Amino acid sequence: MARPASSAPSGATNNIIASGSLAAIRVLIADDNSLFRDGLANLVSAQPDLHVAGTIDSAAAAAEQTRQVRPDVVLLGWSATATASQRIFAAIHESKLTTRVIMMVSEDGKEDFAEAIRLGCSGIVPRKTSTELLLKSIRKVHAGEIWLDRMSTADVIRRLSKKGSGNVAARQGLREQGAALSTREREIVGLIAQGFKNKDMAERLFISEQTVKNHLHNIFDKLGVSDRLELALYAIHHKLHEGA
């Protein structure tokens, strides 16, 4: 069963930040644990720049609720392979929503990290994380950044490394190859590691999107990575983005 925004805690009914006209970040909370779900709703609704757009407690209405609510951020309490999660990701992709997803994981959910990122998850946060870090992750992910703690990053990198073991030599020499990147290429690696999209990088660097794509193609070839996810994670892990 899904709860619309009107059934969220009373503090979440105002979708405009009191101090100005800027719309608050609309958050959809998806989890089948009522205690955990309601606790998140109360926490989010207490923030002046956040708004609880609705809640989902089962797979039945996951896709429909996501399409109807069109949230800025989804706090996902299920694993990436769960039916409800699959429906939420599908709804986001099929409806071409700009919604960003943060998956909240428990200790036994680590096997889902790489799959979650590949499905489009923008952040992975432990269920036991601090209030401060959870709220920060929502704001950072909404701003376009990728949010992974050190353990999550290491786990995803390890799994991607195993999956791409056919290119071990390229990966082992990544740090050395990184030194061969041009100044512009290192700038782009740094922005990719921060979660920037091609359009955003083009505007920031005052170049065309096609030029960004050309640079990425060259970077992939030099570093031996197959996509921007691997590039971002390896850049962070090997500190290739530092000083870019």
Identify the bridge partners of residue 2 per DSSP, sorted by sequence position.
56
pLDDT at residue 169 in the model: 45
Domain 2-158 has CATH 3.40.50.2300: yes
Give me the chain's average pLDDT, please.
79
Which tokens hold the place of 169? 């030599």
Class of the domain covering 167-237: mainly alpha
In this structure, the number of other CB atoms found within 10 A of the CB of residue 150 comes to: 9
Determine the Cα angle at 145 with ends 141 and 150, to 5°: 95
Which tokens hold the place of 239? 């500190």
pLDDT in tens, 12-28: 344 444 444 468 999 99
pLDDT at residue 13 in the model: 40
pLDDT at residue 171 in the model: 46
pLDDT at residue 9 in the model: 42
In the chain, where are the structural domains located?
Answer: 2-158, 167-237
pTM of this prediction?
A: 0.65
pLDDT in tens, 125-144: 988 889 999 999 999 899 88
pLDDT in tens, 88-102: 999 998 999 999 999
